Amino acid sequence: MFAAPVLYDGDAEPQRLEGRRIAIIGYGSQGHAHARNLADRGMDVRVGLREGSRSWAAAEAAGLRVMSVAAAAAEADAIMMLAPDTEQQRIYDRDIAPSMRPGTTLWFAHGFNVHFNLIAPPDGVDVALIAPKSPGHRVREVFTQGGGVPGLIAVAQDASGAAREDALAYAWAIGCTRAGVIETSFAEETETDLFGEQAVLCGGVSALVKAGFDTLVEAGYRPEMAYFECLHELKLIVDLMYQGGLNYMRYSVSDTAEYGDYIAGPRIVTAQTKEAMRQLLANIRSGEFAKTWVAENDVGRPHFTAARLADADHPIEQVGVRLRALMPFLDARVVRPDMGVANLAGVSLADRSAVATAT
């Protein structure tokens, strides 16, 4: 039983967006999906980008109106902020704040900047959140197939008295109400999102995979075997969880694997691990993580860049590049040292090996 109702197409009032001039700020993962889905719904949408942006031509090629951020903000009466978290405050202060006037709507897909008071919209402005729970390419892909991805909505400031209804209409426009939308708050969305990324989805899983790989290799097992057991097969398990939760995963694997789950899991994720998670959450809730991350960006990301380069050189990455290049069924990607990405889809097996060797 859900504590809050799940909202669908029938709960939304799409007509609320008719005649609204909507500006999408940014054309990255989420930006391109929102802008194109809105356009397909017949909305009056324009994209705001910095001068010289590499995304400018791509947005125009998609048939969208593109202009500077300041021009888009001045023209629009509803603005969706989809630039990276660490750039939003600067963009808002310089290009958007001058256009904030009573009756304007300011939307976000992540509550970071509002919740941690980096952006403080003036009175008289609606401030709401519409957050698809999926990467942008899936928001677009599933929409074009007639479906949608689940989403969240929240209201931080309701000057008009209809901020919630407008947010739900926007969720309809990008397809989220096809899958279901849950109401939340800026605080809950921001804090749970950051915690999930750090403790489980990115930080926790990455560290666990590397530790398992290192343990096997240090014990004398071949790196290729360690890669398959600790990284490659992870997708099989996660797909089962995605379909039916932990119980379906356990139902689908062997009894030996299920027994190992019960006796070994608690030895890996211990009381000390849970305490570390609590500390991570406290750090997020207090705003200390946001403060540290903003400060890191202000000085040019030295620690972030060093960590990125160090992990790119981890043996599991080197082994993985070689093995994935030998899997023609896989839509493989190779991240190069300059952090560019090469797509191996459609590349011959011989050429795949050459790409992998050159990385």
Active site amino acids? 110
Question: E-assigned strands of 83-168?
Answer: 105-108, 126-132, 151-157
DSSP conformation letters of 31-79: HHHHHHHHHHTT-EEEEEE-TT-THHHHHHHTT-EEEEHHHHHHH-SEE
Q: Is the dihedral of CA 117, 281, 203, 307 positive or negative?
A: positive
Amino acid at the residue 26? G
CB neighbour class for 356 (10 Å; exposed up to 12, middle 13-18, buried from 19): buried
Q: Is the dihedral of CA 242, 248, 252, 253 positive or negative?
A: positive
Tokens found for residue 299: 């000085």
Amino acid at the residue 340? G
CA distance linking residue 122 with residue 100, whole number of Å = 7
Amino acid at the residue 312? A
The conformation of residue 14, written as its DSSP 8-state character, comes to G
- Which contacts of 220-228 are long-range, i.e. CB under 8 A and separated by 24 or more positions? 223/315, 223/316, 223/319, 224/319, 224/323, 226/316, 226/319, 227/316, 227/319, 227/320, 227/323, 228/323
CA distances for 150 relative to 2, 81, 191, 303, angstroms: 15, 19, 18, 34
Angle at 57 between CA 54 and CA 59, to 5 degrees: 100
CA distance linking residue 323 with residue 315, whole number of Å = 12
HEC readout, 332-347: CEEECCCCCEEECCCC
